[in-house]
Amino acid sequence: MAARFSFYYAAIFLAVGIHLPFWPAWLKYRGLDATEISLILSVGVWIRAFANPLVAHFADRSGAHKRIIMISAAGGVVTYALIALASGFWALFAVNILASAMFMALIPLGENLASRASVDHGFDYGRVRLWGSLTFILAAYIGGWVIDKAGDASILWMIVAAMIAALIAGFGLPERPSRDGPVERFPAFALLRQRRFLIFITAVSLLQSSHAVIYVFGTIHWRDAGLPDHIIGALWAEGVMAEIILFAFSGTVVAKFGPIRLMWIAAAAGIVRWGILANSTDMIVLFGTQWLHGLTFGAAHLAAMHYMLRTVPEHLSASAQSLYSGFSVGLVMGLMMLLTGWLYETYAGSAFYAMIGLSALGGGAAILLAHHKSEEA
């Protein structure tokens, strides 16, 4: 069972490993400016905020996680291929919405199946998840090399090929039956009524949205500084290598620190990382700083997964996962991505300073979560 989920993560993050570093560069290649790029990317992640809870609601009630994953993967292949036919901002904007709607369900539903299967079948979630990180590394580095040789037009077709791999991998996932127990008319409401869960979502959303500038303009910023695409791909790959190291020891790390302390670590690392990136595009400095991605993203994500696993009832787990995905890399991330268009056009690399504030606020929310937990105890 672990091998099936490892293959699924590898396929999904093959797509992410091309899309995250290089999709903004493809949009720029198609003639879009910084504001238009940030708008397209922000609307894409807003789709996640609103669509994923609805999809998870259906999945929790029906148990049709695998079926939804298969439909979404097939739709992703078609819609990303259609982007090649789009011309001009509004056409690209419209087709990107369709592609985002298809792609966004693949990660949270897969995460939900994997985290629950890790309990049912006794495998380490972190060790399975690291295969996604490993594939991201290969995709980012090899993708950068391909783009250096074949040009920006190749970015789209690498993503289409990766979506085909995700569709194939989806066939190997287990179907999860609908669960016995209380059934909410809309399970997300049951979670959003809990003050502790709201504080948790606020903390992880702030921590994850502090990556907005690097996700939207990291590649463009480094290109403008004169770095070639294969070096940029290596920088993205190195950041995820740090994730692999963390996920490889995830069981020990979580047992030692616990989810809330991991959020504090992610916040502290973000303050350091964004401060350095605001001040330097030196290649040696960048390679040193990118190791912190294992903490700014990896520690925050690991904390979120284990916090939900420990505190959320199983029949609400898919809804909890979709809310985490919808807010942390959906609604809040989308707002920050939209803001980065103006920030980057106005301040260029100094836009990273704003991300320091988000990391600090996320750490503060995690402190509040710890205080709330101690009050309940």
Q: What is the pLDDT of residue 222?
A: 95
Residue 281: pLDDT over 70 = yes
Q: What is the pLDDT of residue 46?
A: 80
Q: What is the pLDDT of residue 377?
A: 43
Q: What is the pLDDT of residue 57?
A: 67
Q: Please provide the distance, in angstroms rounded to a whole number, between the alpha carbons at the two ends of the chain.
A: 37
In the numeric block, the tokens 């916040």 are attached to 267
| Whole-number Å distance between alpha carbons of 112 and 308 | 10
- Residue-averaged pLDDT of the chain: 84
pLDDT band of 179, cuts 50, 70, 90:
low
Mean pLDDT of 254-258: 89
| Domain edges within the chain | 2-173+187-376
**CATH code reported for the domain at 2-173+187-376:** 1.20.1250.20
Which among 137, 31, 163, 156 is positioned nearest to 89, based on CA atoms? 31
Tell me the residue type at 174.
P
Residue 296: pLDDT over 90 = yes
In sequence order, what are the residues at sequence separation of 6 or more whose Cβ sits closer than 8 angstroms to the Cβ of residue 45? 100, 104, 329, 330, 331, 333, 334, 337
Q: Half-sphere exposure of 226 toward its Cβ, with a 13 Å CA cutoff? A: 4
Q: What is the pLDDT of residue 272?
A: 96
Tokens of 32: 């879009």
> How many C-beta atoms lie closer than 10 Å to residue 34's C-beta?
21
pLDDT band of 177, cuts 50, 70, 90:
low
Lowest-confidence segment of 57-61, 106-110, 137-141, 275-279 by average pLDDT: 57-61
Mean pLDDT of 135-162: 91
Tokens of 21: 């570093």
Mean pLDDT of 333-341: 89
Helix or strand (DSSP H, E) at 345: helix 332-347
Global pTM reads: 0.78
Per residue in 208-245, pLDDT (tens digit) is 999 999 999 999 999 999 999 999 999 999 988 898 88
Give SS3 for 185. Answer: coil
